[in-house]
Amino acid sequence: MLYFGYTYCPDVCPMSLALIAQGLSGLDAAALQKVQGIFVSVDPERDTPQRLAEYVPFFHPSLIGVTGTPEQIATLARMYGSSYRRQPKGPEGHYTVDHSSVTYIIAPDGKLADMLQHGSPPESITATINKALATAK
């Protein structure tokens, strides 16, 4: 599973990560062993590896957070059709990052198996993962 977001996101990312976590919790132990949830930060300026390591597992212990250079993140986002755009800093120096909110289900061969739109219920997330695992056999 792949999700693009950032740790300073005020609402969309925490909600999506919570739903992903609930979906993962619906998997049996054997299925969960075969799934890796990855949160890709689109805000490498603020989302350090340390911050990601503290933030992401809070939602589910099997989730990991990754970052990279702006070029690496842009390349990965393009591969899956994800989009994001940093907004200008406000008067206090804060900024947001507008981004798509899709959870990508990736097959073992690295190809896109399915996409879950923002707000997909946990049962749908679990079912989609199980379907992808079944077709990967």
Average pLDDT over residues 93-118: 92
Question: Would you say residue 126 has pLDDT above 80?
Answer: yes
From residue 28, how far is each of 60, 63, 67, 130 by CA, in Å?
15, 16, 29, 10
pLDDT single digits (tens) 31-68: 999 999 999 999 999 999 999 999 999 999 999 999 99
Q: What are phi and psi of 94, to 5 degrees?
A: -85, 155
Output the pLDDT for position 137. Answer: 65
Average pLDDT, the chain: 94
Q: Where are the domains of the chain?
A: 2-135
Q: Which CATH number fits domain 2-135: 3.20.20.70, 2.60.40.1930, 3.40.30.10, 3.40.50.2300?
A: 3.40.30.10
pLDDT of residue 89: 93
Q: Which residues contact 69 (CB under 8 A, 6 or more apart)?
A: 44
The dihedral of CA 114, 102, 120, 53: what is its sign?
positive
> Would you call 93 helix, strand, or coil by DSSP?
coil
